[in-house]
Amino acid sequence: MTLITKCLEQNGEHERNHWFIDFSGHVNQLTIRRWKHGWEMDRASEDCTIRLTEDGIQEAYWFLANRIK
């Protein structure tokens, strides 16, 4: 959650949001999407979709840790 908070703080520092976080509680899933240069309709994102298990949380951690400035 600390890393997700940092992502959301970074969104406030730029004209275009870079990070989008979707939580689907009914299936225990988290999707994290990142646009390196800010969101635009025609740009591709880097995505990480995980189930909220110990392994999934570790995967999300490393996805975030390697991309947060």
**Among 16, 5, 22, residue whose Cα is nearest residue 68:** 5
Beta bridge partners of 31: 22, 49
Please write the tens of the pLDDT for every residue from 6-48: 888 888 776 778 899 999 999 999 999 999 888 888 889 999 9
Full-prediction pTM beyond 0.85?
no
CA-angle at 58, arms to 32 and 53, nearest 5°: 85
User: Which residues, in sequence order, are CB contacts of 35 under 8 Å at separation 6+?
Assistant: 16, 17, 18, 43, 45, 46
SS3 64: helix
